């Protein structure tokens, strides 16, 4: 589906004031109301802290607004996307988190006034989403040593002191040094079942680009595929080498890594419950992990410049 211009849309904004940037800058509902009004956009701002996010999302989806805006981080965006998949409503993003991965992929301005202004001239576009055991993800799901490292990161979230950062570095290096490879069975839709021994596996919606300075960025979100990244070993040396090669734009042929393109894949381990990192959030899920791509299942609002780039890429 080609992008279509946003005209006379109504907006329902879900503000997660606890998200990284929102919490740090103290974004308020009144500030958002002013920004939307300045662009001539009709918006209802929901900043309720006394209700769970899932209930606020359910109410927004049942409402009359054409566009539901996630004003928060990647966790807020993924939660809202799960409720909007295959619906007639569109997702828009005000990037108020720490990583803002999807916002960066869609070239949404990372400053709040710029992001709201981009909505006024934005266009709708449909993108793929990944699904694992019925859960929607927008970026990637990671298993292995990485979720354990991420759990350590969560313990110091919000702390900027040197002691916390140094402590996390020590924790990170200890985890890598002690990590063992896990045996997993991988059964993709386009190949035979195989056994792998790996320290980390990531399943991404679409694929990450390879280019100078591109670090976990995606230029296309509607290829209709998943990408399976199997990291066979991940020592401290591997981390530094892979990071350097990513920055230099030539990491995909690294000897520690195997990459496959699939539309569906099942991953089985000996554990019945497995910690995973789903779009940056640590979750516990039952195995096997059954993944599939849901092609163009989510309508999103993208800046006009992004829509032009999408059109040019398709024409090429």
Report the first-to-last Cα separation within the chain, whole angstroms. Answer: 16
Rounded CA-CA distance 222/171 in Å is 37
Contacts (Cβ under 8 Å, ≥6 apart) of 238: 231, 256
| List of domains in the chain | 4-128+296-315 (3.40.50.10330), 136-295 (2.60.200.40)
Rounded CA-CA distance 89/129 in Å is 15
Give the position of tokens 């929607």.
Answer: 136
Nearest to 8 by CA among 39, 53, 45: 39
Given this model, what pLDDT does residue 25 score?
74
Given this model, what pLDDT does residue 307 score?
58
Rounded CA-CA distance 152/171 in Å is 7
Indicate whether this model's pTM tops 0.85.
yes
Given this model, what pLDDT does residue 38 score?
95
Rounded CA-CA distance 168/176 in Å is 12
Rounded CA-CA distance 43/245 in Å is 44
Given this model, what pLDDT does residue 305 score?
82
Contacts (Cβ under 8 Å, ≥6 apart) of 127: 221, 222, 296, 298, 300
Given this model, what pLDDT does residue 95 score?
94
Q: What is the pLDDT of residues 187-219, one digit of tens each?
A: 999 999 999 999 999 999 999 999 887 778 999
Q: Which structure tokens are listed for 29?
A: 């509902």
Residues of the chain with pLDDT under 50: 1-2, 152, 154, 156, 312, 315
Nearest to 259 by CA among 192, 202, 197: 202
Given this model, what pLDDT does residue 280 score?
87
């Amino acid at each position: 589906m080609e992008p279509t211009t946003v005209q006379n849309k109504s907006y329902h904004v879900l503000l997660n004031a606890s998200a990284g940037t929102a919490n740090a800058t103290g974004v308020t509902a009144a500030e958002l109301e002013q920004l939307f009004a300045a662009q001539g956009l009709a918006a209802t701002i929901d900043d309720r802290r006394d209700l769970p996010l899932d209930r606020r999302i359910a109410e927004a989806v049942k409402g009359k607004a054409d566009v539901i805006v996630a004003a928060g981080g990647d966790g807020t965006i993924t939660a809202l996307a799960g409720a909007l998949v295959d619906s007639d409503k569109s997702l828009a993003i005000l990037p108020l988190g720490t990583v803002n991965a999807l916002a960066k992929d869609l070239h949404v301005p990372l400053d709040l006034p710029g992001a709201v202004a981009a909505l006024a001239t934005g266009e709708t576009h449909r993108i793929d989403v990944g699904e694992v055991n019925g859960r929607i993800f927008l970026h990637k799901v990671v298993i292995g040593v990485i979720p354990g490292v991420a759990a350590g990161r969560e313990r110091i979230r919000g702390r900027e002191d040197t002691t916390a950062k140094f402590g996390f570095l020590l924790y990170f290096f200890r985890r890598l040094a002690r990590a063992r490879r896990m045996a997993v069975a991988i059964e993709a839709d386009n190949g035979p079942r195989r056994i792998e021994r790996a320290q980390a596996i990531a399943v991404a919606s679409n694929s990450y680009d390879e280019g100078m300075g591109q670090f976990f960025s995606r230029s296309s979100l509607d290829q209709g595929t998943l990408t399976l990244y199997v990291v066979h070993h991940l020592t401290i040396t591997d981390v530094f080498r892979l990071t350097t090669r990513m920055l230099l734009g030539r990491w995909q042929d690294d000897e520690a890594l195997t990459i496959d393109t699939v539309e569906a894949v099942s991953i089985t381990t000996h554990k019945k419950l497995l910690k995973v990192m789903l779009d940056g959030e640590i979750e516990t899920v039952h195995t096997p992990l059954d993944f599939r791509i849901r092609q163009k299942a989510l309508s999103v609002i993208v800046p006009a410049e992004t829509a032009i780039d999408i059109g040019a890429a398709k024409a090429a």
